[in-house]
Structure 1
Amino acid sequence: MSKPNKGILLVNLGTPDSPSVSDVRRYLNEFLMDGRVIDIPSLRRLFLVRGIIVPFRAPNSAKLYRAIWDKETGSPLLHYSLLQQQLLQERLGDEYHVELAMRYQNPSIASALAKLRPMNLESIRIIPLFPQYASASTGSVIDKVMELMRTWHTFPEISIVNDFYDNGLMIDVFAENALKHNPQTYDHILFSYHGLPVRQLTDVEPSHKHHCETAGCREQISEHSRYCYLAQCYATTRLLAQKLGLQPDRYTVCFQSRLGKTPWVQPYTTDVLKVQAAKGAKRLLVFCPAFVSDCLETIYEIGTEYATEFKAMGGEHVQLVESLNDHPLWITALEKLAIAGKHDSVLHPNPIDKLGVVAR
């Protein structure tokens, strides 16, 4: 076996070590104390997180984690992330060494870098596993990696994949997973992304005055919105809708998992459920294209919580479209991201779908 000379660091958000209240509390404290997640002065954040949010939220969140925790494989997010690491390593071969880290909790970024550092690698490529860029996710990963590598005396060549919202193979996997559920049999389709405080979108331009509605972020990616989370979410949606041949009146983009009373990006998924129920919709198909692995936000929030809410409103069924998980095409996408960069497998105009659907 030859010695690897290139390193790949996959980084996902994180998960508690177990669904116990103490482990969930530890996870939430680390997650919510990140200044890029709750971007308020540190003393206010400390009081808010450790004095109010975590003490009340940890016991309830622990119940939710227990509902999705597998007796054999544990956390779904960690389970699929480990599979992605293993399968990518097999694809890349001995020239590469693939490490997995979580931004919060374990395996930590510090432990992953500690394994990579003594290998004397010629390069390290960092792939935050978030299709759409946001300061609170991808930005936080990059920030942490830079903080930890600051003490290194020698550096290999470092490269970062900061987004892959338009990756063609990713689009293919989501489309293939959706076709298993016969989208035409649903009254409406939701593209539900993780939410973000509106104030965090104003900093995507150097002027710190970015305004999504003025910049047309729901319609296009432009020079001013290239790093805008909202613009990238809508761009991913357009590509998926094109792939599946969906007309605009057949789907809605929405945002879930908001925290606190501050304004977050709208429309909220819960409000869209109400609108669709009022229109008489009975069956909804829901994509979560901000997540590459099924986790609490997909399995429980969509598959259980929102499904229960919708039924209480008179609906009948909410079907989650499975995430990318360990799908072979997704592993191919990761391989291309690791070797060639994010634009190597971007969707081409008017593709003929391998599943027989003509994108138009």
Structure 2
Amino acid sequence: MGKKGVLLVNLGTPDSAATPDVRKYLNEFLMDGRVIDISPVSRAILVRGIIVPFRAPKSAKLYREIWSDETGSPLLHYSLMQQRLLQQRLGDEYMVELAMRYQSPSIESALERLKNALVSEIKVIALFPQYASASTGSVYEKVMKLVSQWLTIPNISFTNSFHDNALMIEAFAQNAQKHQPQTYDHILFSFHGLPQRQMVKSDHTHNHCLKSANCCQTLTDANKFCYSAQSYDTARLIAAKMGIGKDQYTVCFQSRLGNDPWVQPYTSQVIADMAAQGKKRLLVFCPAFVADCLETVYEVSVEYHEEFKAKGGEHVQLVESLNDNPLFIDALEEMVKG
């Protein structure tokens, strides 16, 4: 019956840390209508006329800080490791391909390889634990658009989210143990941010999102597909796995872009508040990322660390992402076979 296909998709990374490649990446990323959800004309003016010309040189400088001469982008490096390890785990009955939503390797090329291999079915896993239209939704829209042009379409299935996958939760908790969590004053679960308007648009009830201060802190039928609610649930499960009480951790959101309100509280503000309270050592999880990248190894380990020290704190310690943790490969295998 042929091999079964698996398509792993992460967000993407520039082909190099050079400004032209970063500009190309940002243009593709930010022109996605699910990422900046405004009219196409307004988006083009904003992205190509304002954001990218100013942001590309600055982002390129940051990428150069984390780029390796041997392995290049950490996101691509660890994603390729995950692909290879999962392929080894699944064996010859499966064909595992990796793609990036933006830039290389492309979703189109990965799907073509699966099609040419005559796979009997395709399991698509967007490597974002929590569902968001701007990440998981964009990946699946792209996959469906491409596959819709095939004359023969195999069985295709998608993993909506895996924010509560027990093996993933255990992997994050395991990664934290090497840092002796009990020696820190407070723990942050810092997730990638999203504009509040995207959260409101995702509320199919039209009567839940942002209607109360605690609308995201408990997962219910009304918010089960909500990125923020799934984030709070992930943090709760990791904390429970580690025996961390509610007063010992804070959920927050990073990487804000623009002036519109985003999901709150903002990580930078929480860090400032922690310093004002006399906290000296913070341990930071980034459970929206399964592979270390600019947002973890630089934004948290460098920028937030420097901000915290400037306000009187001593140390911000990043809990490494899942990367090549065998438990995460177990989780991926479970998703493929489940």
CA pair 4-294 structure 1, distance change in 2 beyond 3 A: farther
Q: Are the aligned partners of 2:130 and 2:231 in contact in 1 as well (CA < 8 Å)?
A: yes
The amino acid across from 1:130 in the alignment is F
Tell me if 1:246 matches 2:247.
no
Match of 2:130 among 129, 132, 151: 132
The structural deviation recorded for 1:205 is 3.4
Partner of 2:267: 269
Partner of 2:57: 59
Map 1:288-299 to 2 at 5 A: 288-299=286-297
Counterpart CA distance in 2 for 1:215 and 1:68 is 37
Counterpart CA distance in 1 for 2:193 and 2:265 is 10
Tell me, what secondary structure is at the counterpart of 1:202?
Answer: helix
Tell me if 1:220 matches 2:218.
yes
Counterpart CA distance in 2 for 1:316 and 1:302 is 14
Partner of 1:76: 74
What is the Cα-based RMSD across aligned positions, in Å?
Answer: 1.2
Counterpart CA distance in 2 for 1:213 and 1:250 is 26
Gap regions ≥5 residues in structure 2: none
Q: Are the aligned partners of 1:197 and 1:262 in contact in 2 as well (CA < 8 Å)?
A: yes
Counterpart CA distance in 1 for 2:25 and 2:84 is 25
Q: Are the aligned partners of 1:4 and 1:94 in contact in 2 as well (CA < 8 Å)?
A: no
Partner of 1:193: 191
The amino acid across from 1:330 in the alignment is F
Counterpart CA distance in 1 for 2:82 and 2:316 is 27
Partner of 1:31: 29
Tell me, what secondary structure is at the counterpart of 1:165?
Answer: coil
Tell me, what secondary structure is at the counterpart of 2:298?
Answer: helix
Tell me, what secondary structure is at the counterpart of 2:129?
Answer: coil
Which string of whole-angstrom CA distances, capped at 9 and with x for unpartnered residues, describes residues 179-208 of structure 1?
Answer: 111111111110000000001011223345
Match of 1:103 among 101, 104, 121: 101
Which string of whole-angstrom CA distances, capped at 9 and with x for unpartnered residues, describes residues 94-150 of structure 1?
Answer: 110000000000000011011111222221000000000000000000010111112
The amino acid across from 2:250 in the alignment is T
Partner of 1:343: none
Counterpart CA distance in 1 for 2:236 and 2:215 is 12
The amino acid across from 2:9 in the alignment is V
Q: Are the aligned partners of 2:216 and 2:223 in contact in 1 as well (CA < 8 Å)?
A: no
Which string of whole-angstrom CA distances, capped at 9 and with x for unpartnered residues, describes residues 133-173 of structure 1?
Answer: 00000000001011111211111111000100000111111
- Give me the TM-score of the superposition, normalised by structure 2: 0.98
The structural deviation recorded for 1:215 is 9.2
The amino acid across from 2:183 in the alignment is T
Counterpart CA distance in 2 for 1:217 and 1:304 is 32
Partner of 1:351: none
Counterpart CA distance in 2 for 1:308 and 1:219 is 29
Q: Are the aligned partners of 1:169 and 1:330 in contact in 2 as well (CA < 8 Å)?
A: yes
Q: Are the aligned partners of 2:203 and 2:209 in contact in 1 as well (CA < 8 Å)?
A: no
The structural deviation recorded for 1:216 is 4.6
Counterpart CA distance in 2 for 1:131 and 1:247 is 23
Tell me, what secondary structure is at the counterpart of 1:107?
Answer: coil
Q: Are the aligned partners of 1:215 and 1:224 in contact in 2 as well (CA < 8 Å)?
A: no
Gap regions ≥5 residues in structure 1: 341-360
Counterpart CA distance in 2 for 1:211 and 1:233 is 14
Counterpart CA distance in 2 for 1:97 and 1:62 is 34
CA pair 208-104 structure 1, distance change in 2 beyond 3 A: farther
The amino acid across from 2:322 in the alignment is L
Tell me, what secondary structure is at the counterpart of 2:201?
Answer: coil
The amino acid across from 1:27 in the alignment is Y
Partner of 2:13: 15
Q: Are the aligned partners of 1:123 and 1:158 in contact in 2 as well (CA < 8 Å)?
A: yes
Partner of 1:145: 143
Q: Are the aligned partners of 2:282 and 2:315 in contact in 1 as well (CA < 8 Å)?
A: yes
Partner of 2:39: 41
Partner of 1:168: 166
Q: Are the aligned partners of 1:11 and 1:128 in contact in 2 as well (CA < 8 Å)?
A: yes
The structural deviation recorded for 1:275 is 0.5
